Amino acid sequence: MKSLEELKAIRERMQSQVSMRAEDHNHTRVVVGMATCGIASGARPVLTKLSSLVQEKNLTDKISVTQTGCIGLCQYEPIVEVMEPGKQKITYIKMTPEKAEEVLERHLIGGHIVEEYTLSGADIK
């Protein structure tokens, strides 16, 4: 069985590092809708993908991935909202882990919105 001793070792290691994360206003927030509608249409793997990619790429000091409830657009779930400081909120709809990876690469790292996956860009009218 995995023990709490290991967790203590991780803590010791971390306390020697100085850079504790500070939530400042330059933080980009990525929010995944996780109500019944989101979960049923596959939001959990999208959330897991985004947060593990952000960690892998050492972006945790710039991007925080969180979850929220029902946004009210259940038919477009899984929904991912990107809120960059000083910019308009971007709503990505019908996400998959693959699309989420693309959004991370092209939008969050590259700075270009992936129009075809957004609520305003998708052909849904």
On the CB side of 57, CA atoms within 13 Å amount to: 14
- Is the bond preceding residue 85 a cis peptide, omega within 30 degrees? no
Q: How far is the CB of 113 from other proteins (least distance, A)?
A: 25
Strand partners, 29: 64, 83
Binds other proteins (CB under 8 A): choice among 50, 51, 90, 100? 51
Is 89 a binder of other proteins (CB under 8 A)?
Answer: no
Question: Rg for the chain (alpha carbons), in Å?
Answer: 16
* Stretch near other proteins under the rule CB under 8 A, chosen from 5-13, 81-89, 90-98, 117-125: 5-13
Is 10 a binder of other proteins (CB under 8 A)?
Answer: yes
Binds other proteins (CB under 8 A): choice among 72, 87, 110, 116? 72
Is 67 a binder of other proteins (CB under 8 A)?
Answer: yes
Binds other proteins (CB under 8 A): choice among 46, 53, 71, 108? 71
Of 108 and 114, which CB lies nearer to other proteins in the complex structure? 108
User: What is residue 32's three-state secondary structure?
Assistant: strand
On the CB side of 102, CA atoms within 13 Å amount to: 12
Is 34 a binder of other proteins (CB under 8 A)?
Answer: yes
Is 53 a binder of other proteins (CB under 8 A)?
Answer: no
* Residue 117 phi, psi dihedral angles, 5° rounding: -100, 0
